[in-house]
Structure 1
Amino acid sequence: MDQTKLLSRLLPTVLFIVFVAFVLFLLPRVEAITLDYIGGMFARSVTSEMFVGSLRSFAAYLFPVLKIIFWMSLVIAIVRLLTMVILATVLRSVAQSEIVSLTRTVVSVLIYITAFFVIFQSHFPNVELAAIFTGSTIVGIVVGLALQDTLGNFFSGVALQADHPFQVGDVISVSNRATGVVESVTWRGIKIRTFQDKLVIISNSVVGKEVIEVAPKDNLNARLVFFNTEYGFSPSRTAKLVREAVRNVPNVSGLKRPIVRVRNLGDNGLDWEVKYWCEDYRRHNDTDALIRQTIWY
């Protein structure tokens, strides 16, 4: 992220933090003035004592609630500001952007929950939050059961991101599911673009249970192409001619020499295999077809 874009994102957050801090500075003074005014209403015989008492009770709860809201807004803004700065500086070289984003989200939520407990208890010390959360245990169980699949995908996504078995651009084959190029990896699932140009979305909980074959995009991945010849052709001459022809096919890596060898002695001739290495494994189907065509001619 360049400096101009970073500053354009940081400036509104900084202005919001300054505004909230200014409001928090004024709130105690506004609260004192308001309570004094309400107390003076009865002294001036403007209204009844019961009405004044109700107003004071309302104000006594209103201002702490407003303080909690503004304090939480301040905490959220500061956390977002820090995460933006950290991601733009310290974590710029981290390749696993998904796990960085996931870690940022989890840490932020933990900070928000802790801050809420501290702020709430400081303004309402007589309210037992533990009792409130204990009373909602049944609701939590119901919600947990309802979110079972979502939580399964979440934790499977954490495991995948931590292990990082593949990345965007790799060709993967998920057994009995799909084969194609990885387009995105999130905490919910992976998107695979098949070689028929279809988009397959597989949840992380399913991926975690399957066998995955990975062809990394920055690796020389090998392929096998098969053909056969009659017994009348010289094996050594056939291997030499095919090897030289395959080396000139586009997308065949020149860093490794193609291997041409007899795979089997068939009933009507020799069965051969050609092993070559792809520069771009995403184009291996076209390369296989071109090699077969080259061998034929």
Structure 2
Amino acid sequence: MTEQAYPSIILLNVLGVAGIVVWHLQGRTRPTERLIAQIVFFLAMSVTLVFAKINPFRFDAPHIDSDGTLVVSAKILWWTHMAWASIGFVRLYMVLDGRPREARLIQDLLVAVVYLGVFLSVMAFVFGVPIGTLLATSGVVAIILGLALQNTLGDVFSGVALTLGRPYVIGDWILLSDGTEGRIVASNWRSTHILTATHNLVVLPNSVLAKQSLTNVSKPDENHQITLSISIAPHKRPKFVIDIMHEALNNCNGIVHEPPPTAALVGISGAAIELQLQFRVTGPAQRIIARNEVIDLVYQHCNSNGLTLAKPVAMQIVEGLDTLEPRSISTERLLDSAPLLTGLTAEERAILAAAAIRRDMAAGSTIIAKGEKAKSLLVIRSGTVILKDDGVEITRLAPGDYLGARSLLNGEAELYEAEALTRVTFFQIEQPDLERLIASRPSIVDDLTPPIERTTEHTG
């Protein structure tokens, strides 16, 4: 080494050590500043190498003296900073690509490749180790390790394949062909962690997950369809049954109404009209809530329109078809099924039924305006009523629900506008008739809670 190159060698070692110190002082919390420092030190060391006329890609047998040791350390430091700068660029690309968490496996793989390449380069260009012989020896070792770690390596490469294919990301809700269903909460080289709806953590090896068909419920969004099968006794025309099912679905507050839910006929026989109700929910957490509400509303609409749920065929054979006679629709039976009138006795419901007057309103009609005081109690017999506040839908009322209780019991104006979504039939009970019933049993006031208080609690 010439005397002119000696200062450059000293500078190379100083820059290399200083870069390591700065790299550790900046820490992991400042990745951008860390990357800039890595690039600056690497470029400075590269320029110094050029001035010192040292080729890091060629092995030169060093002299056994302090000068030779400084050259070796300078090359090692340069290769180390090149590795850090390359890894910094890899991580920066992952962040700018907008998927740092999903690409963690790829990032780790690239980092490992960089470190392995730098290690082999140092062994070859700094210490003169014959890489060909080393690779041949390591190949035999790799075969032995591969056989011993076959399952683990299968999980690792399956994890890489799943990461590259991106069938899901952290936070997605997936459904597997073996019935496992839940939200992805973690993914690593070895396995994927799924949090199920029962709040259990399922840990699946990546090789097992890669072999199954997978449905990503979260793509394009978590809005997805549910199918519910219904059997109705064949005493009404199928079109009438379909219309009633549509009314029940339109009444539901827990499902998505755009696109609209549908009811489809799938079969008919002397025992039943078979239907499938198809509706969408906003996410997996809404499935049970929406299904319960749909079933409740189907029962309520069938009850108020004279439809009978079909019994299983085996039970019909035993009991005889005479048990499938259609039930008559009466005001008293409707009041008996009204959710908010369940506290009334049979005699009290009979009094209300006798005083009830049937009324019909066309779709789009305003039943009660916001701020208006109702003069009678309106019990919905059929159809769907929407409660609105300044044009914004608040909730939907079904057969058995009623309007006007706030005005009649408290003398207050109605808080919401009641509009008929479909053709609506209701029973009108005048205030004097209701007051006579309240006088005979004052506790009925507690049972006649205005429906909006129940529905806003339900929807809120």
- Fold conserved (TM > 0.5)? yes
Contact 1:181–1:282 (8 Å) recurs in 2 = no
Where 1:124 maps in the other structure, the secondary structure is: coil
Match of residue 137 from structure 2 = 135
The whole-number CA distance in structure 1 between the counterparts of 2:75 and 2:250 is 71
Deviations 1:254-288, CA, capped at 9 Å, x for gaps: 22222212333356432321011222244223222
Contact 2:231–2:275 (8 Å) recurs in 1 = yes
The whole-number CA distance in structure 2 between the counterparts of 1:255 and 1:158 is 39
Deviations 1:211-252, CA, capped at 9 Å, x for gaps: 223323434422111222222244323322221221342342
Judged with a 3 Å threshold, the aligned counterparts in structure 2 of structure 1 residues 248 and 80 are, in CA distance, closer, same or farther, namely farther
* 1:9 counterpart letter in structure 2: P
1:108 alignment partner, one of 106, 111, 117: 111
Deviations 1:126-152, CA, capped at 9 Å, x for gaps: x31322332343322222123322221
Distance apart, 1:199 and its partner CA: 1.4
2:83 alignment partner, one of 60, 76, 80: 76
Q: Which has the higher helix share?
A: 1
Where 2:102 maps in the other structure, the secondary structure is: helix
User: Is 2:216 the counterpart of 1:214?
Assistant: yes
Match of residue 161 from structure 1 = 163
Identity, % of aligned positions: 20
Contact 1:265–1:271 (8 Å) recurs in 2 = yes
Where 2:228 maps in the other structure, the secondary structure is: strand
User: Is 2:12 the counterpart of 1:10?
Assistant: no
Deviations 1:84-121, CA, capped at 9 Å, x for gaps: 433444x23xx58523x333333333333333333332
Q: How does 1:1-297 map to 2 (within 5 A)?
A: 8-12=30-34, 14-15=36-37, 66-67=73-74, 69-89=76-96, 91-92=97-98, 95=99, 97-99=101-103, 101-125=104-128, 127-176=129-178, 178-219=180-221, 220-265=223-268, 268-297=271-300
Judged with a 3 Å threshold, the aligned counterparts in structure 2 of structure 1 residues 6 and 74 are, in CA distance, closer, same or farther, namely closer
The whole-number CA distance in structure 1 between the counterparts of 2:192 and 2:150 is 19
Contact 1:258–1:276 (8 Å) recurs in 2 = yes
* 1:73 counterpart letter in structure 2: T
Where 1:173 maps in the other structure, the secondary structure is: strand
Judged with a 3 Å threshold, the aligned counterparts in structure 2 of structure 1 residues 276 and 87 are, in CA distance, closer, same or farther, namely same
Distance apart, 1:296 and its partner CA: 1.7
The whole-number CA distance in structure 1 between the counterparts of 2:95 and 2:44 is 28
Contact 1:20–1:70 (8 Å) recurs in 2 = no
Distance apart, 1:72 and its partner CA: 4.0
Q: For structure 2, which runs of at least 5 residues remain unmatched after alignment?
A: 1-26, 53-62, 301-460
Judged with a 3 Å threshold, the aligned counterparts in structure 2 of structure 1 residues 62 and 112 are, in CA distance, closer, same or farther, namely same
Q: Which has the higher contact order (CA 8 A, sep 6+)?
A: 1
Where 1:98 maps in the other structure, the secondary structure is: coil
Where 1:81 maps in the other structure, the secondary structure is: helix
Contact 1:247–1:254 (8 Å) recurs in 2 = yes
Contact 2:42–2:81 (8 Å) recurs in 1 = yes
The whole-number CA distance in structure 1 between the counterparts of 2:217 and 2:236 is 35
Match of residue 314 from structure 2 = none
Distance apart, 1:291 and its partner CA: 1.1
Judged with a 3 Å threshold, the aligned counterparts in structure 2 of structure 1 residues 20 and 151 are, in CA distance, closer, same or farther, namely same
Match of residue 48 from structure 1 = none
Q: For structure 1, which runs of at least 5 residues remain unmatched after alignment?
A: 30-55
Contact 1:153–1:204 (8 Å) recurs in 2 = yes
Contact 2:102–2:170 (8 Å) recurs in 1 = no
Where 1:176 maps in the other structure, the secondary structure is: coil
Larger Rg: 2
The whole-number CA distance in structure 1 between the counterparts of 2:67 and 2:288 is 73
Contact 2:38–2:85 (8 Å) recurs in 1 = no
Where 2:158 maps in the other structure, the secondary structure is: helix
* 1:86 counterpart letter in structure 2: Y
Contact 1:252–1:278 (8 Å) recurs in 2 = yes
The whole-number CA distance in structure 1 between the counterparts of 2:173 and 2:92 is 34
Distance apart, 1:253 and its partner CA: 1.9
RMSD between aligned residues: 3.6
